[in-house]
Structure 1
Amino acid sequence: MSLVRVTNFSISLDGFGAGEPQSFEAPFGHAGHKLHQWMFATWQDDAPFNVDLAFAKRWDVGFGAEIMGANKFGPPGWQDDADWRGWWGEVPPFHTPTYVLTHRPRASMEMEGGTTFHFLDASPEEALAVAKEAAGDLDVRIGGGSSTLRDYLAAGLVDQAHLVVVPILIGHGTRLWDGLEALEETYAIEATSSSTGVTHLSLTRRSTGPA
Structure 2
Amino acid sequence: MTVIAEISMSVDGIVAGPDTGTEHRLGKGGDLLHHWMFEGTDADARVGARILEGIGAFVVGRTMFDVGVDPWGDDGTFEKPVFVVTNRPHEPVVKGPTTFTFVTDGPEAALRQAKQAAAGNDVMLMGGGTTLRQYLLAGLVEELRLHVVPLLFGTGVRLFDAEVGAHVKLERTAVEETPNATHLTYRVLN
TM over 0.5, yes or no?
yes
Q: Is the 8 A contact 1:20 1:30 kept in 2?
A: yes
TM superposition score normalised by structure 1:
0.82
> Shift in Å at residue 182 of structure 1?
3.5
**Equivalences for residues 111-190 of structure 1 within 5 A:** 111-112=95-96, 114-179=97-162, 182-183=167-168, 185=169, 187-190=170-173
Q: Supply the distance in 2 between the matched residues of 1:30 and 1:14 (Cα, whole angstroms).
A: 16
Counterpart of 1:23 in structure 2 is 21
1:65 paired to 2:57: yes
Q: Secondary structure at the match of 1:143?
A: strand
Q: Which AA in structure 2 matches 1:33? A: D
> Shift in Å at residue 37 of structure 1?
0.6
> Shift in Å at residue 25 of structure 1?
1.5
> Shift in Å at residue 115 of structure 1?
0.6
Q: Supply the distance in 1 between the matched residues of 2:127 and 2:21 (Cα, whole angstroms).
A: 17
> Shift in Å at residue 190 of structure 1?
4.4
Identical amino acids, percent of aligned pairs: 37
Q: Secondary structure at the match of 1:204?
A: strand
Unaligned runs of 5+ in 1: 43-47, 76-83
Asked which structure has the greater CA Rg, the reply is 1
**Equivalences for residues 84-123 of structure 1 within 5 A:** 85-112=69-96, 114-123=97-106
Q: Secondary structure at the match of 1:53?
A: helix
Q: Is the 8 A contact 1:67 1:99 kept in 2?
A: yes
- Per-residue CA deviation, residues 50-78 of structure 1 (Å, 9 max, x unaligned), is 2x223211111111111000111124xxx
The root-mean-square deviation of aligned C-alpha atoms, in Å, is 1.9
Q: Is the 8 A contact 2:9 2:149 kept in 1?
A: yes
Q: Is the 8 A contact 1:191 1:199 kept in 2?
A: no
Q: Is the 8 A contact 1:91 1:111 kept in 2?
A: yes
Unaligned runs of 5+ in 2: none
Change (3 A) 1:72 1:49: same
Could you say which structure has the higher strand fraction?
Answer: 2
1:49 paired to 2:42: yes
Q: Is the 8 A contact 1:12 1:167 kept in 2?
A: yes
Change (3 A) 1:66 1:195: closer
Q: Secondary structure at the match of 1:110?
A: strand
Which of 37, 53, 75 is matched with 1:39 structurally? 37
Counterpart of 2:187 in structure 1 is 204
Counterpart of 1:45 in structure 2 is none
